[in-house]
Amino acid sequence: MSLEDTMNALGAEARIAARAMALVPPDRKNGALWAMAEALSSNAAAILAANRKDWNAAEKAGMTSAYLDRLYLDAKRLNAIAEAVANMTDIPDPVGSIVKEWTRPNGLKIQQVRVPLGVVGVIYESRPNVTADAAALCLKSGNAVILRPGSDSYGTAVAIHQALQQGLQKSQLPLAAISLVPVPDREAVGLMLKGLQGTVDVIVPRGGKSLVARVQEEARVPVFAHLDGICHVYVDGAANLEMAKAVVLNAKMRRTGICGATETLLVDRACAATHLKPLVQMLLDAKCAVRGDADTQAVDARVTPATEEDWRTEYLDAVISVKVVDGVAGAITHINHYGSHHTESIVTADNAAAQKFLREVDSAIVLHNASTQFADGGEFGFGAEIGIATGRLHARGPVGAEQLTTTQYRVFGNGQTRP
């Protein structure tokens, strides 16, 4: 059987499993999550051995230490993975919840009800936790999932997948609800992106920019993803300096490698004389490189010139670009032009300025007086997320269990016919 035939069969089985999973009551899904968490613990030896093999091969292949760290599992990390699966039992079950309900003049009662999306394809790289996290979130939301891990962590993924399957089996749920591709190569990715003969409803890429770019370019099915997180903080003329310092430092430096990390600081010309220098020096002192426009270069000799390219760059590192703009309108224009429609924050005591910013900035998440690093499903209270989407359709922002559902209209009559 060719890989294409095998993958199509996988898709067809996932589709059948998805129909079954859509009808599983919340308690049984939670039971399966507990059983999966337990199986991850009881299979620890096998999982860690498989991971050691993957890790040794990756080290031999000369992967970077950051890469090796992402790949690495030990008992503590595996325990955290199992706990995350168990914690998903606490998330509210979105399936069957009524979004809206109304009655028409002819007596028809219409309900809009949440139902699972169907089959979710997850394409990821080396992090072993994604196998368990993505599977658990898809199960919680009543979907079937097809997992395609990176080739470097495939052995680890197989071992984790076996544990998850034990959990499904114990709960008498269909094993095809959580499928793993038979080989982790690029051909399998290409086939998933084509939708496996209409059996894949949505693809979620989890990984670096080149993976996401390939998925967005090639996919023939909808994709939940963001390519860039070029996030901004705008410090308005009416900003309290101490608050601005706290928000900017956290937004840039708490973790520089996440998509909600701020990459550009915009400062209102109206407060540049008082706020720009302390903000820039704070960042420099925190070991953040600052690339600035002429105004910013003037406040400290350590500031290097920002190029046009800097305004479009997601550093994911301790680097920030800084620019003085003309008020909230200038900030909005800059952000809508250079940004990636991900997450932006305004710091101001002026509510009218904040309202203008929140309304006019065309991003998935906009904040007033808070750090951009809150761009996260957990921080939103979603319990877990499979990623953050900057596409405009269906799921915009953090993608949690609810965003992995669609809706169905259920109409209740007593014999109505249409005139």
In the region spanning residues 284 to 323, those forming contacts with its own copies, defined by CB under 8 A, are none
Best CA proximity match to 405, nearest among 139, 175, 148? 139
User: Please, what is the angle between helix 186-193 and helix 3-21, to 10°?
Assistant: 50
Of the two residues 92 and 208, which places its CB atom closer to its own copies in the complex? 92
Residue pointed to by tokens 């599977």: 135
Interface residue with its own copies among 21, 48, 73, 117 (CB under 8 A) is: 117
Using the contact rule CB under 8 A, the part of the chain among 31-39, 177-185, 272-280, 404-412 near its own copies is 404-412
Best CA proximity match to 403, nearest among 99, 86, 80, 29? 99
Six token digits for residue 250? 């956290």
Q: Strand ranges (DSSP E) for 258-318?
A: 262-268, 289-292, 304-305
**Largest interatomic CA distance in the chain:** 79
- State yes or no: residue 12 binds its own copies (CB under 8 A): no
Using the contact rule CB under 8 A, the part of the chain among 77-85, 130-138, 263-271, 374-382 near its own copies is 374-382
Shortest Å distance, C-beta 41 to its own copies: 28
For residues 174, 176, 179, 181, the Cα torsion angle rounded to the nearest 10 degrees is 160
CA atoms of 13 and 145, how far apart (whole Å) = 11
At residue 171, the 3 state secondary structure works out as coil
Using the contact rule CB under 8 A, the part of the chain among 42-50, 59-67, 68-76, 403-411 near its own copies is 403-411
Six token digits for residue 383? 């319990």
| Cα distances (angstroms) measured from residue 246 to each of 235, 282, 343, 350, 367 | 11, 10, 17, 18, 15
**Hey, which residues does 202 pair with through a beta bridge?**
120
Shortest Å distance, C-beta 352 to its own copies: 14
Shortest Å distance, C-beta 194 to its own copies: 12
Using the contact rule CB under 8 A, the part of the chain among 18-26, 67-75, 153-161, 283-291 near its own copies is 18-26
Using the contact rule CB under 8 A, the part of the chain among 32-40, 49-57, 66-74, 366-374 near its own copies is 366-374
**Hey, which residues does 399 pair with through a beta bridge?**
387
- State yes or no: residue 194 binds its own copies (CB under 8 A): no
Interface residue with its own copies among 122, 249, 265, 325 (CB under 8 A) is: 249
Best CA proximity match to 286, nearest among 248, 257, 314, 312? 248
x/- string (CB under 8 A) for its own copies, residues 64-103?
Answer: --------------------------------------x-
Of the two residues 92 and 305, which places its CB atom closer to its own copies in the complex? 92
Interface residue with its own copies among 185, 209, 294, 412 (CB under 8 A) is: 412
Six token digits for residue 102? 């109304």
Contacts to its own copies by CB under 8 A = 19, 22-23, 102, 104, 108, 110, 117-118, 201-202, 222, 240, 243, 246-247, 249-251, 254, 336, 358-360, 362-371, 373-374, 376, 379-381, 392-394, 396-397, 406-418
